Amino acid sequence: MTTLPEMPCAEFVERVTDHLEGALSIEDEQRLQDHLAACAKCAHYLQQLRDTLELTGELREDDVTPEMRGELRDVFARWRAERS
Stretch of 22-30, 38-46, 52-60, 70-78 lying at the interface with Zn ion (CB under 5 A) = 38-46
Burial class, 31, CB count within 10 angstroms (exposed 0-12 / middle 13-18 / buried 19+): buried
Q: Which residues, 6 or more positions from 84, have their beta carbon under 8 angstroms from its beta carbon?
A: none
Give residues 37-56 in contact with another protein (rule: CB under 8 A).
Answer: 39, 41-42, 44-45, 48-49, 51-53, 55-56
Q: Which residues, 6 or more positions from 66, have their beta carbon under 8 angstroms from its beta carbon?
A: none
Q: Are 31 and 6 contacting, i.e. CB atoms less than 8 angstroms apart?
A: yes
Least Å distance, CB 15 to Zn ion, is 11
Q: Which positions lie near another protein, rule CB under 8 A? A: 8-11, 13-14, 16-18, 21, 23, 39, 41-42, 44-45, 48-49, 51-53, 55-64, 68-69, 71-73, 75-76, 78-80, 82-83
